[in-house]
Amino acid sequence: MVEGAAVRAGTSGTVGGRKVKKQAERTDMYEILKGMRVVEGASFIAAPICCQHLVGLGAEVIRFDMIGGGPDFNRWPIAPSGLSLYWESLNKGKKSVAIDLASREGRELAIAIATAPGEAGGLFVTNYPVEGFLAHERLARRRADMITVRVMGWADGRSGVDYTINAVTGLPGMTGPAALADGEPVNHVLPAWDLIAGSYAAFALLAAERRRRDTGQGGEVLVPLSDVAATSLGHTGMIAEAIVGGADRARVGNDLFGALGRDFATADGRRLMLVAITPKQWTSLVEALDIAATVSAIEAELGGSFAREGDRYRHRSRLFDVIARAAGSLTLDEAAARLDRTGACWSIYRPLSQAITEEPGFVAGNPVFAERAHPAGHAYPTPGAAGTFPGLDRASAPRAPRLGEHTDEVLADLLGMSSGEIARLHDAGTVAGPTH
C-alpha cells in the first residue's frame, strides 16, 4: 500500500516495514511560501481552495482525511473510474494522509500532525466545528503559537453552505430574465461564496502568521461564509443601496447595473457580451460599431450625456436597440475585428468546453495551466497559482495525490515514527495507505 508513496525527490528508504519506491515528484509551484507547512483537515470547497492557493505559492500542505474518504471524497463530477474529479481538482499537490478519525488514536494522530513542531508549521486550516476534537483551544494546548483558520457556514455555528447562504443575499431575486415572477429565485452555479472565502482564508492565514512572526502569538481566525457574503454585499455598496434607496434592486435580466452592458446576437448567431462602464470603453464601443451619429441624435433628443455611465443606464433600452442593430448586422469575425481595433471591452459567450480549447489565453496556451494526469485516470489542463510573479519560476502544476498516498511518509518524517509504529497503526486500522 505504500509502493506509490511520493516522498521527497531523490531520497529512498524503508517505511512501514516495506521497501518504498520513491518518486521524483515535483509538487511545489512557485517557491514564494517555501518552508511553510500547513495542515488541512477539511472538506468541500472553501478550506481546500484556501490550501490550494497556498500550494500554488509553494507551501507544503498535508491534508488528512477519513480512511476511505471524507464527505467530499465522492462529490460530483466523478470520472468513469468512480473517482471524483472534484476531490482531485481541489487537492492538487497536497500530501494525503488517511486516518480513522472516528477512533481515539486516530484523532490523537490528527492533532499530532496539526500541531507538529517546526517554526513554519503550526498552521491548521479546517472546516470542522468550533467545538470538538479539533477545537483551537485543544490544539493550542499542544502548541502555544498554533494558528487555526476555520471556515464556517454561519458565524454562530449553524449549518450553512454556499447555496443556503446565497439564498439570503437577495441575489437570486435579482438574477435571471426580467420576465420571471418577482420572488422567483435563480440560484448561482458558481460557488462564489466558497471561492471568496477560500482566498480570504489564505489571506487571513498569512496575516495571522505575519503577526506570529512579529509577536510569537498564534490564535484562531474564523471565516464564516455568512460574514464573507454579508461583507461582500457591504463592500460593494449593495447594503447601502438597499437602505438608502429603500428598495431592493430590480431584476434587469442581463443588463449590467448602473452602466451599459448586455448580451447581443451577431448576424451569424453568436452571442457577445459588450460592456461600457468607463468613458474609454464607451467611446471604443461607439467607434467599433460606427453608431456615433445615432447615439448623438438620441443624446440630443433626451438631453442627457452618454459620457456618464448613469445616463447610459437610464436610457439603456434606447441604446440597446441601436447596439443590437449594429451588432446584428455583423458576423462574429467582423464584430471581433472592429471591437479589437478600438480596444472595446467585450467577449464571446462560450460553453466551457469551447472556452477551454478556443478562447485565446484562457486555458489553452495559458502558462498557468499544464496538462497533467491525475488519479481518477485522466489527463487534463491543470491550473497552478492564479497569480503570476514575473521573473520567478512557475514550475509545473502538481497532480492530485491518491487518498492516503503520503500516510507513511508523514508519519515517519513529520512525527518521527519508526517503521514498527507505523506498521502497528496500519494493522490496527488507525491509518491507511492508498487503496485506489
Reading the block at residue 288, the C-alpha cell is 467599433
Shortest distance (Å) from residue 435 CB to a copy of itself:
18
333 is catalytic: no
Check residue 283 for interaction with a copy of itself (CB under 8 A). Answer: no
Map the footprint of a copy of itself across residues 287-306, applying CB under 8 A: none
Reading the block at residue 347, the C-alpha cell is 467577449
**37-72 in b/e burial notation, b at 16+ Cβ within 10 A?**
bbbbbbbbbbbbbbbbbbbbbbbbbbbbbbbebbeb
Check residue 258 for interaction with a copy of itself (CB under 8 A). Answer: yes
Quickly list H helices, 260-315: 279-289, 292-302, 309-314
Check residue 363 for interaction with a copy of itself (CB under 8 A). Answer: yes
Shortest distance (Å) from residue 370 CB to a copy of itself:
11
Distance CA 314, CA 309 (A): 9
Taking contact as CB under 8 A, which single stretch among the options 7-15, 16-24, 250-258, 326-334 is the one that binds a copy of itself? 250-258
**Of residues 10 and 390, the one with the C-beta less far from a copy of itself:** 390
Taking contact as CB under 8 A, which single stretch among the options 95-103, 104-112, 165-173, 294-302 is the one that binds a copy of itself? 165-173
**x/- binding map, residues 90-119, to a copy of itself, per CB under 8 A?**
x-x---------------------------
Q: Is 245 exposed, middle or buried (0-12, 13-18, 19+ CB in 10 A)?
A: exposed
Reading the block at residue 152, the C-alpha cell is 464556517
Facing residues of 348 across strands?
272
Question: Catalytic pick from 72, 100, 162, 194?
Answer: 194
Taking contact as CB under 8 A, which single stretch among the options 95-103, 166-174, 289-297, 316-324 is the one that binds a copy of itself? 166-174
- Considering only 1, 135, 155, 423, the residue that binds a copy of itself (CB under 8 A) is 155
At 255, the amino acid letter reads D
Check residue 77 for interaction with a copy of itself (CB under 8 A). Answer: yes
Check residue 135 for interaction with a copy of itself (CB under 8 A). Answer: no
- CA distance readout (Å), 422 to 100, 108, 124, 414, 417: 14, 14, 23, 12, 6
Distance CA 224, CA 191 (A): 14
- The single-letter DSSP state of residue 398 is P
Shortest distance (Å) from residue 350 CB to a copy of itself:
5
Distance CA 34, CA 141 (A): 27
Run of H or E including 205: helix 192-215
Check residue 324 for interaction with a copy of itself (CB under 8 A). Answer: no
Run of H or E including 225: helix 225-235
Check residue 388 for interaction with a copy of itself (CB under 8 A). Answer: yes
- Considering only 181, 247, 293, 300, the residue that binds a copy of itself (CB under 8 A) is 247
Check residue 348 for interaction with a copy of itself (CB under 8 A). Answer: yes
**Of residues 163 and 413, the one with the C-beta less far from a copy of itself:** 163
- Considering only 382, 407, 410, 431, the residue that binds a copy of itself (CB under 8 A) is 382
Query: What are the residue numbers of the active site?
Result: 194
